[in-house]
Amino acid sequence: MILIAFGTRPEIIKLFPVVSELKKRGIAHRTLFTGQQTDLYEDVKALVPPPDFSFAEAFAGAQKHNSLGGSFVKICEAAETLYARKRFGIVVVQGDTTTAWALAQMAFYNGVRIAHVEAGLRTFDLMNPFPEELNRTLISQIADYNFAPTRQAFDTLAKSGARNIHLVGNTIVDAVDHFRKTLGLTSETTPLVPVTLHRRENHAVMGELFREIEAIARDNGDLEFVLPIHPNPEVQKHRHLLRAPNIRVIDPVGYPDMLRMMSRAAFLITDSGGIQEEATCFNKKVIIAREKTERPEVVEIGLGRLAGRNLEREVAWARIPPGNPDASPYGDGHAAERIVDVLAGRLA
Ligand code: UDP
């Protein structure tokens, strides 16, 4: 039996293609929602069938205090109980969250095999992104299956001595392709500039970043900035800084609406990892509000610029329409099929 574990919005977005593929092939599996991010869960829960297991209640207290250790301990305890109660052959974890690391470590303790989706991403700076760089590095040490999204991730894993590495592409391209087809999305350019800012490493400078957005909006009156604002209080407390008439601050939106906005964007401003990848699917330029990225490919193909806090400096570049699109460096939309091929082979 395969267990697919997720706890946050990006994990659900990047794992729903795997869940769909398992279902399509009639391969027995169960799903687990750890409740790491209950507020954003509502926006994406429709992407997967209702989870078979949920730790959301056990998690509620830890989340209120936003404590990394508290969250980690609660997920670990609940995961151990679950692994003892049900016999899983493989647990599939995604990315670099507390959920992914806690589920992987408890699987290791309890003799459950670990499959890591989106393995091998690194900035090689343990503090950036924090604590994700630590989480993903540790998972690679114990994973039985490492599913690398890109050649660079594959090479990083190979050098580190990780086991059983498969270059499969990133399931985010599968996710985008799914909605591109079902919603009939095509890439067009309108004055819309979607902005998302929320990362923990940016909390200390979030006020500065919001002031940059305000200044950019005032200097670019022909553009319309839309900011689906993250519920984290460290982000919310700065929303009063956004006053320009061409800035719209909205609640986080469901994934199909987010993709619809991206497909119509003039360009994007973000500190999110997933949005950097999605930008390449829609051939959109993206100003990256980070000092370092574990996704160098978007920069290498000329669609991304690492701006740190100096977002305004890159606006002139971002306003020049990109050239003809290359294929996304993050995959061809068949990553989930390859992942399930490997897992099915193991089960057989
Ligand atoms: N996203 C969404 N609605 C929003 C903002 C973002 O569906 O209002 C999606 C976005 O398209 C991307 C993912 O959420 O796929 C990014 O999640 P997040 O920024 O939380 O995490 P990261 O990508 O940094 O891991």
SS (H, E, C) 148-192: ECCHHHHHHHHHHCCCCEEECCCHHHHHHHHHHHHHCCCCCCCCE
- pTM (two decimals): 0.96
Residue type, 260: R
Tell me the average pLDDT across 9-20: 97
Pair of tokens at residue 125: 């700076």
CA–centroid distance, residue 345 to ligand 1 (Å): 32
pLDDT in tens, 264-316: 999 999 999 999 999 999 999 999 999 999 999 999 999 999 999 999 999 99
pLDDT category of residue 43 using cuts at 50, 70 and 90: confident
Among residues of the chain, what percentage have pLDDT more than 90? Answer: 89
Ligand 1 binding pocket includes 13 (Cβ within 6 Å): yes
pLDDT category of residue 58 using cuts at 50, 70 and 90: confident
Nearest ligand 1 atom to the CA of 172 is: 15
Ligand 1 binding pocket includes 253 (Cβ within 6 Å): yes
The secondary structure of residue 313, as a DSSP letter, is: G
Ligand 1 binding pocket includes 294 (Cβ within 6 Å): no
| Preceding omega of 131 cis (within 30 degrees of 0) | yes
Position 38 pLDDT exceeds 90: no
Ligand 1 binding pocket includes 10 (Cβ within 6 Å): yes
* CA-CA-CA-CA torsion sign (5, 199, 229, 310): negative
Pair of tokens at residue 232: 């984290």
CA–centroid distance, residue 40 to ligand 1 (Å): 9
Distance CA 119, CA 123 (A): 13
Position 47 pLDDT exceeds 90: yes
Q: Whose Cα sits closest to atom 24 in ligand 1?
A: 272
Position 39 pLDDT exceeds 90: no
Q: Whose Cα sits closest to atom 15 in ligand 1?
A: 274
pLDDT value for 40: 87
Tell me the average pLDDT across 130-135: 96
Concatenating the DSSP letter of every residue in 193-211 gives EEEE---GGGGGGHHHHHH
Tell me the average pLDDT across 249-272: 97
Q: Which residues are catalytic?
A: 96, 118, 132, 198, 200, 230
pLDDT value for 61: 62
Position 62 pLDDT exceeds 60: no
Tell me the average pLDDT across 92-112: 98
CA–centroid distance, residue 87 to ligand 1 (Å): 32
Residue type, 225: F
Listed in sequence order, the residues at least 6 apart from 286 whose beta carbon sits closer than 8 Å to its beta carbon are 267, 268, 269, 270, 275, 276, 279, 298, 303, 304, 305, 318
Nearest ligand 1 atom to the CA of 272 is: 24
Ligand 1 binding pocket includes 255 (Cβ within 6 Å): yes
| Phi, psi of 4, rounded to the nearest 5 degrees | -105, 120
Tell me the average pLDDT across 30-49: 92
In a 3-state reduction of DSSP, which class is residue 127? coil
Ligand 1 binding pocket includes 330 (Cβ within 6 Å): no
Tell me the average pLDDT across 197-216: 96
CA–centroid distance, residue 199 to ligand 1 (Å): 11
Among residues of the chain, what percentage have pLDDT more than 70? Answer: 97
Residue type, 317: W
Angle at 333 between CA 120 and CA 155, to 5 degrees: 25
pLDDT value for 117: 98
pLDDT category of residue 66 using cuts at 50, 70 and 90: low
pLDDT value for 65: 57
Q: Whose Cα sits closest to atom 7 in ligand 1?
A: 255
pLDDT value for 286: 98
Tell me the average pLDDT across 94-120: 98
CA–centroid distance, residue 252 to ligand 1 (Å): 9
Cβ neighbours of 307 (radius 10 Å): 23
Position 226 pLDDT exceeds 60: yes
pLDDT category of residue 164 using cuts at 50, 70 and 90: very high
pLDDT value for 347: 66
Average confidence score pLDDT of the chain:
95
